[in-house]
Amino acid sequence: MGLAQLPNPSGRRVIVAIMFLAKSLLVSSLVLGVQLHLYQPQQFLFVEVGGTAEIHCSSRESVEWGGNVHWYLRRTGEAPMHIKKCADEQNVSRFACKHKGCTTTLEIRAIQRNESGIYYCAHAATSSLMFGNGTTVIVGDSFTDSSSVLLLGPVAGENGVTEPAHLACVVWGVSNLVQVSWHVPREEPAQRLPRSLEASDGSLTLMHGINIPWTSWASGAAVTCEVTFNSSGSSVTRHAVYSASPSTPCVMLPVVAVGSAVLLFTVPLSLIWICCPPRWGSCPRTPAPHISHQNQDGLVYVDLAFEPLPCRKPRKQQAAQGKNVTP
């Protein structure tokens, strides 16, 4: 039985290339695993002005935190900006990184209102930067005298069940970010990226939207939007329930019936009023008062005789008497 022949040089190059590709896929899968498990457990964090914020970031994998950890802040309407590299020992009076096991914490002392926003932890790998899911930090109270909440939902879908239902929780007149929580029976809604608009007086209008299957929305279940403005005050809750849009004939039929009844009732009354006007309250026109003149010693005296007031019982009045005055 002969010995097996070794593959030719070109075949060896193919085997080496396959082994290199397999090794690269293995390394990529490990990096992807780290990306998927970089997690920030605090979705919202309320902090008083001048207080200390502690923002946590953890991973299930063994990650070398140290100098590979960065923190970014994204304010409303702005791009994310780098605020802290944990290996950097500068500005430790307000910003500090603390590591313990698989968790790192960003500590911000004497935090201010303008530092509200979404904080992201990031881990620098060999050729990539992996981010966490973000923590929304709200500093102080966002409620003002003009704050209001409105929940908007679709009435009917053009394509029926083929498209999802889009709902929006609109918050007017706030001074800062707010916490918006959704509750949909038997559903985990897909939240859209919040939008914001700043008014001329500096107040904000925030819009938080979700998408749910049209069948869930049309089932008549109540969708709830809860808005929290601060850590101590009560929240504001709004509910929305699906309402089908009635067809046009169903709306026009009652309107036409009511309009016809009103016309049948008012037209005869108008004719009676024109032909036979009512006599109650009518009074004859009052004549002008009678004026008499007297001339005595160069002075003219005038007596006015007024008729009694209209529609009233006449009263006895004495005519004014002129006085003789000696010049």
The pLDDT tens digits of the residues spanning 200-224 come to 998 999 999 999 999 889 898 999 9
Q: Last residue of a domain, which of 109, 139, 169?
A: 139
pLDDT of residue 130: 86
* Domain shared by 70 and 88, yes or no: yes
Task: Decide: helix, strand or coil at residue 70.
Answer: strand
pLDDT of residue 73: 97
* Domain shared by 99 and 162, yes or no: no
> Comparing C-alpha atoms, which of 92, 105, 208, 193 is closest to residue 150?
208
pLDDT classification of 124: cutoffs 50, 70, 90: confident
Based on the structure, what is the number of domains in the chain? 2
* Domain shared by 178 and 228, yes or no: yes
Inside any domain, residue 228: yes
Sole residue written with tokens 């063994």: 62
Give the tens place of pLDDT for each residue, 60-115. 776 666 668 899 999 977 889 999 988 876 656 799 988 888 888 999 999 999 99
Report yes or no: 42 and 53 within 8 Å, Cβ to Cβ: no
Q: What is the CATH number of the domain that holds 225?
A: 2.60.40.10
Cα–Cα distance between 84 and 120 in angstroms, integer? 11
Give the tens place of pLDDT for each residue, 168-179. 999 999 999 999
Inside any domain, residue 212: yes
Q: What is the pTM of this model?
A: 0.60
Give the tens place of pLDDT for each residue, 280-316. 444 444 444 444 444 444 444 445 454 555 555 555 5
Q: Last residue of a domain, which of 113, 139, 165?
A: 139
